[in-house]
Chain A
């Protein structure tokens, strides 16, 4: 069975791009429109990897990552954050919240998939 990846991003364009690249690489992709929705989808879909945006309505990426890490079932699930800029302070905050790694936007498919491979079995 292919690995399931949960993508969390409020931009439909970005979700579609992630979904395209990841499904072409053979992953099963499920998505969510913000952090709060992401937590719901997490329970429904039990993904193997999470890719999340940072700036989102309702629950942003930092809050989402913290919530995921506080759930004993997902304490060690790999979480990659999407950052537009190479902004070190954002990366740092995401790391503090518990992010496993990051992907700098705009990304190409190769970069995305290699980041996923790096964190996922």
Chain B
């Protein structure tokens, strides 16, 4: 890897780290705002902003550096309690965090930040630091040494044009110089790199051994240096030790004058000792071997374990996940071949196959765990959207989040941001009332939007709910009639009216509002959730609020399925949807009208779906008593009974997207490759269930 590549990688690291630090900043500020912060919170926020500034400086993102610096200055005042986290202050702080995030994005070339906004907030921040007359931090405002100051210290010491100059340097280290780990020998060596040196060591102060203090400093040096380097370069060598030694640097002419004067006075009675480099380390503290004192530090270590992590390119993990997918298919094929070979059941191959299966599954779960990440960052992003919307609409909103630690697969995670954003917008814009309206309704001024995530039976459930006015069903229905989406005399249940929101082209606001509008409707939200293999439903109670509930698969890579045969076709039904399987008796099957049949199962009527006919595999009606019936349940909890010819197997299948490879087919969620190499379609259970209830009860077509 070349240095340029490495720099590009570090740049990437910088932006990743910025994301983390921005999250840290926001979390900390939010905690401060509600008074749940301790001293370390402010410190952590300060550190995060400081780190962003540091990294940005290295990459010369000037605007980012300058703003981060102003932000940091204000935070510093919060940190030392020169300023209290009042609501006004916190508002500026939170906005600054948002702007900082945008400036990071600007540095990435993803967006541009308007100068006016930058200046306005910079002024606000400066205002926070102004109340106190000579703000110490503000003094260094622009003046900070952020520009690079490349030090062109020529190590060869030969600058062809510059004139040679003779220097006489007197250097007497004090004990602190050694205590801080500096070494005269190294300083002398560095001087030697500037030019020709002649060094005399004055060891006259060196006491006899019994009086020798290992921490003392007894030596002094007089160095004659002939160099073309400027005085600054000579002084620079002593930069770290200047306060820990006696030091004079003079040109030789001046030095000899001084020496003459001294000789005429009390005289120089030390014995000059000319030495070779490196200088003796007699005066330096000897490096001792570690002593049992370490024990104390070991305890500190035990108290604060550092979690070991590595960073891996996502592509590698994805590749691994794909390979495991192939491995699953391959293993299925192998099982098939072993079965086909007609080996006796007691054969060792079967045992081995079982362990292979087990291992494959473990590897797969392991890889899924690598790709899983908590929804927390996603939820945090929403807090900002809530804040911006609250400002824009004049509504008071509090976002409550639950289940932030719930983990989802990365692929799911990334695609959730847009639909979530839209739902939150929708909740605030359409759901919540203005403070006045809320007061009139006997509710607190501040509305609440709740975002929750949970992990249940192999799926992720995410709810977005508000405590607003609920869906205005009369208006929704009128709108749907007006838009020709339903017949004027259609009799719809409340749930059906609510579901109208998901129809393409539906929008209740008479003008597309700036907020939830943006040209997308809930239909887009629904289709993006569906493309993730998820479902979305809506429930609303007038005056009490609305809830959007989503359920998503844990991963988009594999699923446990039941392999069934229908009219000589092999299909897969997702195991999570299956409630039970049974062979119905004739008296359990009842006919409703010409087309619809229902199955009486334990006192409940469940619509019967003839999969073969629905999928267009055959024209004639299947006899449920000859085949098997699979009772499935949709996300909404509704059930239907699928008629299939036979159950072949139950196995894990690798999901291959149909949309990517072919096109979307209603009723089919995806495809897979079976052990014998054949392609099988995976049924979209919810579509069947929705279709069944549509046939049975509702005037609405399913899809």
B150 touches A111 (CB 8 A): yes
A75 touches B148 (CB 8 A): no
B186 touches A73 (CB 8 A): no
B239 touches A101 (CB 8 A): yes
User: Looking at the complex, which one of B47, B181, B297, B301 makes contact with A100 (CB distance below 8 Å)?
Assistant: B181
- Shortest CB–CB separation between residue B21 and chain A, in angstroms? 8
A3 CB within 8 Å of chain B: no
A98 touches B51 (CB 8 A): no
* Chain B interface main SS type: helix
User: Looking at the complex, which one of A14, A37, A73, A99 makes contact with B51 (CB distance below 8 Å)?
Assistant: A14
Please, which residues of chain B bring their CB within 8 A of the CB of A10? 47, 51
Residues of chain B in range 495-536 having any CB-CB distance to chain A below 8 Å: none
Would you give the 0/1 interface string for A85-115, flagging 1 where the beta carbon is closer than 8 Å to chain B?
1110000000100111110111010110010
Please, which residues of chain B bring their CB within 8 A of the CB of A13? 10, 13-14, 17, 51, 54-55, 58
B293 CB within 8 Å of chain A: yes
Give Cα A99 to B177, complex, Å. Answer: 10
Residues of chain A in range 7-61 having any CB-CB distance to chain B below 8 Å: 10-14, 16-17, 20, 24, 33, 36-37, 39-40, 43, 55-59
- Shortest CB–CB separation between residue A4 and chain B, in angstroms? 15
User: Looking at the complex, which one of A24, A56, A73 makes contact with B3 (CB distance below 8 Å)?
Assistant: A24
Would you give the 0/1 interface string for B290-324, flagging 1 where the beta carbon is closer than 8 Å to chain A?
11011001001100101000000000000000000
B306 touches A37 (CB 8 A): yes
Give Cα A57 to B46, complex, Å. Answer: 11
Please, which residues of chain A bring their CB within 8 A of the CB of B10? 13, 16-17, 20
Q: How many residues of B contact A (CB 8 A)?
A: 60
Give Cα A75 to B186, complex, Å. Answer: 17
A20 touches B6 (CB 8 A): yes
A95 touches B180 (CB 8 A): yes
Surface stretch bound by A, among B139-147, B480-488, B569-577? B139-147
Give Cα A57 to B290, complex, Å. Answer: 26
Surface stretch bound by A, among B218-226, B280-288, B459-467, B678-686? B280-288
Identity of the chain A residue whose Cβ is nearest the Cβ of B10 in the assembled complex: A16
Q: A13-B14, A43-B294, A101-B240 are in contact. Are A84 and B148 (CB under 8 A)?
A: no
User: Looking at the complex, which one of A36, A98, A117, A118 makes contact with B301 (CB distance below 8 Å)?
Assistant: A36
Q: A78-B181, A101-B240 are in contact. Are A85 and B294 (CB under 8 A)?
A: no
A5 CB within 8 Å of chain B: no
B668 CB within 8 Å of chain A: no
B3 touches A100 (CB 8 A): no
Would you give the 0/1 interface string for B223-260, flagging 1 where the beta carbon is closer than 8 Å to chain A?
00000000000000101100100000000000000000
B58 touches A57 (CB 8 A): no
- Shortest CB–CB separation between residue B229 and chain A, in angstroms? 13
Give Cα A119 to B145, complex, Å. Answer: 23
B180 touches A98 (CB 8 A): yes
Q: How many residues of A contact B (CB 8 A)?
A: 53
Number of A-B contacts (CB under 8 A): 151
Give Cα A83 to B184, complex, Å. Answer: 24
Please, which residues of chain B bring their CB within 8 A of the CB of A121? 183, 185-186, 278
Identity of the chain A residue whose Cβ is nearest the Cβ of B150 in the assembled complex: A108
Give Cα A39 to B149, complex, Å. Answer: 32
B477 CB within 8 Å of chain A: no
A11 touches B54 (CB 8 A): yes
Would you give the 0/1 interface string for B2-24, flagging 1 where the beta carbon is closer than 8 Å to chain A?
01001101100110110000000
B290 touches A86 (CB 8 A): no
B284 touches A76 (CB 8 A): yes
Q: A13-B17, A111-B150, A118-B190 are in contact. Are A40 and B306 (CB under 8 A)?
A: yes
- Shortest CB–CB separation between residue B282 and chain A, in angstroms? 14
A11 touches B17 (CB 8 A): yes
Give Cα A12 to B310, complex, Å. Answer: 12
B17 touches A102 (CB 8 A): no
Q: Which of A70, A100, A104 has the most CB of B within 10 A?
A: A100
Give Cα A84 to B58, complex, Å. Answer: 11
A33 touches B306 (CB 8 A): yes
Please, which residues of chain B bring their CB within 8 A of the CB of A2? none
Identity of the chain B residue whose Cβ is nearest the Cβ of A118 in the assembled complex: B190
User: Looking at the complex, which one of A73, A86, A118 makes contact with B289 (CB distance below 8 Å)?
Assistant: A73
Please, which residues of chain B bring their CB within 8 A of the CB of A77? 181
A6 CB within 8 Å of chain B: no
Identity of the chain B residue whose Cβ is nearest the Cβ of A92 in the assembled complex: B243
B190 touches A117 (CB 8 A): yes
Please, which residues of chain B bring their CB within 8 A of the CB of A84? 50, 53-54, 57, 144
Give Cα A14 to B47, complex, Å. Answer: 13
Q: A10-B51, A100-B182, A106-B54 are in contact. Are A76 and B151 (CB under 8 A)?
A: no
- Shortest CB–CB separation between residue B82 and chain A, in angstroms? 16
Please, which residues of chain B bring their CB within 8 A of the CB of A24? 3
- Shortest CB–CB separation between residue A9 and chain B, in angstroms? 9
Please, which residues of chain A bring their CB within 8 A of the CB of B148? 106, 108
B240 touches A100 (CB 8 A): yes
27 contacts between A and B (CB under 8 A): A10-B47, A10-B51, A11-B17, A11-B54, A12-B16, A12-B17, A13-B54, A14-B58, A16-B9, A16-B10, A16-B13, A20-B10, A36-B300, A39-B301, A43-B294, A57-B47, A71-B297, A72-B293, A73-B287, A76-B179, A78-B181, A79-B180, A84-B53, A86-B145, A87-B140, A110-B150, A110-B151
With A37-B306, A117-B190 already in contact, 12 other A-B pairs whose C-beta atoms are closer than 8 Å: A11-B51, A14-B58, A17-B10, A39-B300, A71-B294, A75-B287, A78-B181, A98-B179, A105-B58, A118-B190, A119-B181, A119-B182
Q: A-contacting residues of B (Cβ < 8 Å)? A: 3, 6-7, 9-10, 13-14, 16-17, 40, 43-44, 46-47, 50-51, 53-55, 57-58, 140, 144-146, 148-151, 153, 155, 178-183, 185-187, 190, 237, 239-240, 243, 278, 284-285, 287-291, 293-294, 297, 300-301, 304, 306
Question: Ordered nearest first, which 7 A-B pairs have the shortest CB separation?
Answer: A73-B290, A101-B240, A100-B181, A13-B55, A106-B57, A13-B14, A11-B51
